[in-house]
Amino acid sequence: MHPLLLLLLATAHGLDKLSYKPTLVGGNVEGRMTGSTFVLEQPRCVFDSYSTANIWLVVATREGMDAFNDSAQPGMPEWSFQRFPTNTSAYLTLGAMQYHYGCPKPDRELTVLRVGSETDCADNISVPNCNGPLPGPGPYWVKFLALNGSEPTATTEWSGPITLKTAREPQSIPGTGGARSGAMIAITAILSVLLAILLAALLATLCSSEACGVGSFRPDAASIRRYNTHHVYDQPAARL
């Protein structure tokens, strides 16, 4: 019922409804959706028969999409970016003459429209058509509107919902510590065992000498200990 009414209204005003649906650019462009911008394909070969028209992009919330009036004028404060989304549910931006979207699409060029790239005019109410950064994650719906002077002559379909990225807090990053690796456990274990063996060997060595008093009463050891190099040829019997 509602779309039928819209269609009647459109034909009544001489507004052509084109079946083109605006889409996001392909996947190899990494910045196609950021926290406050998104990138659309240009509407090439869509408005060929409207060579005198200005092509405008309409960005709207859900309410704006339902309530949008195609007789919107770009300079009007009701459709200005600065009042979006609190005081208005849609705005017009990125106005361009039709010849910018000529057909065919140039082969080796990237033909895109970045919505949200102008940060200078975002607070400047004297620039109501500012292509300012989007204020929230959305979702947003877009469509193109061709205006001949102040008369709308053609419009495309609304796009699908475009929801921007919501960034998480860094505190939510899990597991900044690591698990114990096998190599570290091997090093610790082996070195501890070796140190223990060394200490045990040191104790055994010291105790086998006179320190612990274990072997100190063997007569031959005592005699060897008193063996004096200067008297080698004088006391041969002391060896026994």
Partner 1 sequence: MQHEARNKGELCWQVSWEGMAGIDPQGSRRTALAAEEHLSSQLLPYSDRKMCGIALTAECIFFVSDPHGLYPLLEATENNDIYAAAWIGIFVGFALLALSILGIVGVMKSSKTLLLVYIILMLITYAFEMASCITAATHRDFLTPNLFLKQMLERYMKSDTDNNNDKQMTEGVTKTWDNLMLQNQCCGVHGPLDWQEYTSAFRMTHNDADYPWPHNCCVMNTRSEPINLDGCKLGVPGFYNSNGCYDAISGPLNRQAWGVAWFGFAILCWTFCVLLGTMFYWSRIAY
Which token pair is 144? Answer: 């193109």
- For residue 98, give Cα distances in angstroms to 54, 56, 83: 6, 10, 27
Segment near partner 1 (CB under 8 A); pick from 40-48, 100-108, 145-153, 228-236: 228-236
Q: Does 229 bind partner 1 (CB under 8 A)?
A: yes
Place of tokens 């650019």: 25
Three-point CA angle 95, 99, 105, nearest 5°:
105
**Of 12 and 179, which CB lies nearer to partner 1 in the complex structure?**
179
Q: Does 224 bind partner 1 (CB under 8 A)?
A: yes
Collapsed DSSP state (helix, strand, coil) of residue 209: coil
Residue 35 is which amino acid? G
Shortest distance, position 33 Cβ to partner 1, whole Å:
9
Segment near partner 1 (CB under 8 A); pick from 25-33, 93-101, 137-145, 149-157: 25-33
Phi, psi of 30 (to 5 degrees): -70, -20
Place of tokens 């005019």: 121
Q: Does 194 bind partner 1 (CB under 8 A)?
A: yes
| Residues within the interface to partner 1 (CB under 8 A) | 28-32, 34-37, 39, 110, 112, 114, 116-119, 132-133, 165, 167-170, 172-181, 183-184, 187-188, 190-192, 194-195, 197-199, 201-202, 205, 208-209, 224-225, 227, 229, 232-233, 236, 239
